[in-house]
C-alpha cells in the first residue's frame, strides 16, 4: 500500500474554538489505481490532500507513504520524502511565465539535484506521454488551459513518484477538456503504477476511478 491515512483528525483555529476539517478519516491508495475523493465545497478535500502530502500535520492519526511512517519526522525529512515519493497536481498549474514547457519540468529535477542531461530526456519523454511533444518549447501564454494542466501533470511525475495527489485538476477547464485530463491521469496511473488520489466535486469523473470515497463535513464514507 503506497499511501495509508489512518484515523486522521485535523482542526483549524476558528475564533475562540476550533473547526474540525477532518474527523477520524482513514484512506488507502494502492499502486496503479485511482482513488477518487468526492465532496462539496468546504467538505475537507483539500485539507485531506494537504495532510496526505505531509504539507499539514494533523492533530492526530498517521500518514504512511510507501511504507514510511511520517509521524514525528522533522520538516527536512518530510521535504525529502515528498520530493522522492510524492507528486502533487494543484488546482492551478502555477507555471513560471518565462520558462518553456520542457524547462518547467527540468526545474523540478534541478531542485532534486539530478543530472541535467538525464532530466532533459525525462522531461521530453513525459511531455510526449501527455501529448505535448510539439509544444515542448512553448511558454505558458502560448498554451491552452488544458495544455497547461498537462504540463502541470507531467511536472508532478518528474520525480517518478509512487503517490500522485491531484486537487480538482479540471476546475479551470470545460467539460470535454476536463474529461480528457482525467482520462489521461487514469492512463498515466496505470502506466507508471502510481497510487493516485483524485479530489473532485464532479461526479462525471468517477468513471475513471477504481475506487470512490465521499467526504462530507470532514467525514469519509463510500460513495
Ligand atoms: N487554513 C485554514 N484555516 C481555517 N479554516 C480552514 C483553513 N483551510 C480550510 N479551512 C476550513 O476547513 C474546511 C475544509 O476546507 P477544505 O479547503 O479542505 O475543503 P474543500 O472540500 O477542499 O473545499 P473546496 O472544494 O471549496 O476547495 C472548510 O470549512 C474551510 O473553511
Q: Which residues contact 12 (CB under 8 A, 6 or more apart)?
A: 18, 19, 21
> Which pLDDT belongs to residue 116?
67
pLDDT at 194 over 80: yes
Phi, psi of 63 (to 5 degrees): -120, 125
CB distance 207 to 175 below 8 Å: no
CB distance 189 to 197 below 8 Å: no
Say if ligand 1 is within 6 A of residue 200 CB. no
Supply the ipTM of this predicted assembly. Answer: 0.94
Phi, psi of 19 (to 5 degrees): -100, 130
pLDDT at 111 over 80: no
- What is the per-residue pLDDT across 115-172, written as a single tens digit (0 to 9) for each? 667 889 999 999 999 999 999 999 999 999 999 999 999 999 999 999 999 998 887 7
Q: Which residue in 20, 5, 4 sits closest to 59, CA to CA?
A: 20
Atom 18 (ligand 1) nearest CA: 44
DSSP states along 70-109: -TT--HHHHHHHHHHHEEEE-SS----TTS-HHHHHHHHH
C-alpha cell at 87: 507528486
Say if ligand 1 is within 6 A of residue 25 CB. no
Residue among 45, 168, 198, 219 whose CB has most ligand 1 atoms within 8 A, to mutate:
45
Place of cell 494542466: 149
For 38, left (φ over 0), alpha (ψ -120 to 50), or beta? beta
Helix, strand, or coil (residue 139)? coil
As a three-state string, the secondary structure of 11-56 is EEEECCEEEEEEEEEEEEECCCEEEEEECCCCCCHHHHHHHHCCCC
What mean pLDDT comes out for the span 88-99? 91
> Which pLDDT belongs to residue 115?
65
pLDDT at 198 over 70: yes
Say if ligand 1 is within 6 A of residue 39 CB. yes
Q: Rounded CA gap, 81 and 73, in Å?
A: 10
- What is the per-residue pLDDT across 10-68, written as a single tens digit (0 to 9) for each? 999 999 999 999 999 999 999 999 999 999 888 999 999 999 999 999 999 999 999 99
Tell me what percent of the residues of the chain surpass a pLDDT of 70. Answer: 97
Q: Strands of 60-65's sheet, edge to edge? A: 17-29, 3-14, 60-65, 68-69
Say if ligand 1 is within 6 A of residue 43 CB. yes
Domains of the chain by start residue, with CATH: 3-97+160-222 (3.40.50.300)
pTM (2 decimals)? 0.93
Amino acid at each position: 500500500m503506497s499511501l495509508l491515512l489512518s484515523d486522521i483528525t485535523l482542526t483549524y483555529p476558528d475564533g475562540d474554538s476550533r473547526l474540525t476539517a477532518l474527523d477520524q478519516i482513514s484512506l488507502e491508495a494502492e499502486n496503479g489505481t485511482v482513488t477518487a475523493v468526492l465532496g462539496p465545497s468546504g467538505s475537507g478535500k483539500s485539507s485531506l490532500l494537504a495532510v496526505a502530502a505531509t504539507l499539514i500535520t494533523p492533530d492526530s492519526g498517521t500518514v504512511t507513504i510507501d511504507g514510511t511512517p511520517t509521524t514525528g519526522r522533522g520538516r527536512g525529512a518530510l521535504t525529502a520524502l515528498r520530493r522522492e515519493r510524492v507528486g502533487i497536481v494543484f488546482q492551478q498549474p502555477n507555471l513560471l511565465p518565462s520558462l518553456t514547457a520542457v524547462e518547467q519540468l527540468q526545474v523540478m529535477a534541478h531542485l532534486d539535484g539530478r543530472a541535467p542531461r538525464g532530466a532533459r530526456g525525462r522531461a521530453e519523454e513525459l511531455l510526449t506521454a501527455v501529448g505535448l511533444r510539439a509544444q515542448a518549447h512553448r511558454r505558458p501564454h502560448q498554451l491552452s488551459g488544458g495544455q497547461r494542466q498537462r504540463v502541470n501533470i507531467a511536472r508532478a511525475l518528474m520525480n517518478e513518484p509512487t503517490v500522485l495527489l491531484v486537487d480538482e485538476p479540471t476546475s479551470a477547464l470545460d467539460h470535454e477538456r476536463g474529461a480528457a485530463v482525467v482520462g489521461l491521469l487514469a492512463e498515466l496511473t496505470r502506466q507508471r503504477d502510481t497510487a493516485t488520489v483524485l479530489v473532485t466535486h464532479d461526479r462525471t469523473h468517477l468513471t475513471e476511478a477504481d475506487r470512490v470515497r465521499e467526504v462530507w463535513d470532514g467525514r469519509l464514507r463510500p460513495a
